[in-house]
Amino acid sequence: MTKKALPKYVYEDRGYIRFIRRSRGQSVMMKEEPGSDEFWTHYKLLLTGRQPIPSKRTFEALILSYYESDSFKSRKPRTQADYRKYIGHIRKIWGDKDPAKVERRHVYELHRANADRWRAANYLVQVLVVLMNHAHLIGYLKSEQHNPAKGVPLFKQESDGWQPWPDSVREEFEALAPDRARLVYELCLGTGQRIGDVIKMTWGHFKDGEYDFTQGKGDKKLWIPLTDRLKAYLATVEKKGVRLVTDAQGRPVTYRVIAEEMRKVKARMKHPDATSYVTHGLRKNATIELYQSGCDDEMVKAVTGHSGVEMLKKYGGRVRQRELATRAQKLRDSFEQNKTET
């Protein structure tokens, strides 16, 4: 087959045939005979940016199949990026391994091998559960075979999670932070939302002292009145674009840009532990303040959007237990007093 006979993007390369599409960063060797049915099948897949799924039942084939599934495509872009990161590790070590031959002990050993990064180790197992569920769906595992990643004990969280910012850190940050960093700080604290949601908030979400939007994680719809503090602060913010958090030209900014800006502010601070407090900790501040104000679990969830009590236990910590216990004992005293009077 001469070059003229080869289709677009296909070239002869030192005795081989290669598909090269520089705009997409593609350079793939084509081992099929040019002009054959197998060649054209592979070529059509490469035109769409896809690799052919190998016929042999391996993790490589399983992963490529999962990437084409509705289960993967329906996930949020950031979740997809996280999955690709951990699936890449699985692909590297088990790519040519038959999924049907993986036993629970193999997953357990993989989990323990990453014990120095317990959060990553746990996520690795969770991603494997999803992959092996897909293996069941496409017939790589027999119906009677158990998902080997399910039931593997995960490492327990070594602390109560992200630490809330103490008053001393908050006061210094507020004094030093430039406008955009301060806006992110006030939004995280005032709404109790994750930074990923905060940077996507638009002015359209805020109306008549309330905000109405859908959380990125879990697609939970929330309608929440603003605190007096946040209302007063937003009244001082110049509207540069559709979103609240933008660059100087009013364009949206990424999570990475904001995270780096917040780190730079803390690096300038005199507080010795300033850099240890992450932006997500402000969500914990908001949760604690709600409990201190006398809110119960359902009221806190209505503001923060937490899905369950277990997460509230982590975010509320001992403050949650103390405040709920105080309210409970006051009700008990009131009950005893009424009983005595009657």
Position with higher pLDDT, 22 vs 83: 83
User: What tens digit of pLDDT does each residue of 109-157 get?
Assistant: 999 998 888 888 999 999 999 999 999 998 998 888 899 999 999 887 6
Fold of 167-329: hpI Integrase; Chain A (1.10.443)
**3-class SS letters over 94-143:** HCCCCHHHCCHHHHHHHHHHCHHHHHHHHHHHHHHHHHHHHHHHCCCCCC
Highest mean pLDDT among 14-28, 90-104, 135-149, 168-182: 168-182
Range 50-56, long-range pairs (CB < 8 A, 24+ positions)? none
Chosen CATH of 54-158 out of 3.90.120.10, 3.40.50.1000, 1.10.150.130, 3.50.50.60: 1.10.150.130
Name the average pLDDT for the chain.
87
Instruction: Specify whether the CB–CB gap between 50 and 63 falls below 8 A.
Output: no
Task: Give the residue-averaged pLDDT of 82-96.
Answer: 91
pLDDT tops 80 at residue 45:
yes
CB atoms within 10 A of CB 207: 9
pLDDT at 241 (0 to 100): 93
Task: Give the residue-averaged pLDDT of 11-20.
Answer: 81
pLDDT at 59 (0 to 100): 92
Backbone angles phi, psi at 253, to 5 degrees: -120, 160
| 161 — pLDDT class (breaks 50, 70, 90) | low
pLDDT at 16 (0 to 100): 77
| 268 — pLDDT class (breaks 50, 70, 90) | very high
User: What tens digit of pLDDT does each residue of 164-194 get?
Assistant: 999 999 999 999 999 999 999 999 999 999 9
pLDDT tops 60 at residue 230:
yes
Position with higher pLDDT, 150 vs 55: 150
Position with higher pLDDT, 339 vs 229: 229
The pTM (predicted TM-score) of the whole model is 0.61
pLDDT tops 80 at residue 1:
no
pLDDT at 169 (0 to 100): 96
pLDDT tops 60 at residue 160:
no
pLDDT at 231 (0 to 100): 93
Share of the chain above pLDDT 70, in %: 95
pLDDT tops 70 at residue 22:
yes
Task: Give the residue-averaged pLDDT of 241-264.
Answer: 94
pLDDT at 53 (0 to 100): 53
- What is the C-alpha separation between 117 and 218, in angstroms, rounded? 25
- What is the C-alpha separation between 31 and 38, in angstroms, rounded? 9
pLDDT at 4 (0 to 100): 58
Highest mean pLDDT among 55-64, 70-79, 253-262, 302-311: 253-262
- What is the C-alpha separation between 30 and 27, in angstroms, rounded? 10
pLDDT at 44 (0 to 100): 86
Task: Give the residue-averaged pLDDT of 2-11.
Answer: 78
- What is the C-alpha separation between 15 and 17, in angstroms, rounded? 7
| 342 — pLDDT class (breaks 50, 70, 90) | low
**Domain-wise residue ranges, the chain:** 1-52, 54-158, 167-329
> What order do you get walking across the sheet with 210-214 strand by strand?
206-207, 210-214, 221-225
Task: Give the residue-averaged pLDDT of 76-84.
Answer: 86
Instruction: Specify whether the CB–CB gap between 28 and 9 falls below 8 A.
Output: no
pLDDT at 314 (0 to 100): 76
Position with higher pLDDT, 244 vs 79: 244
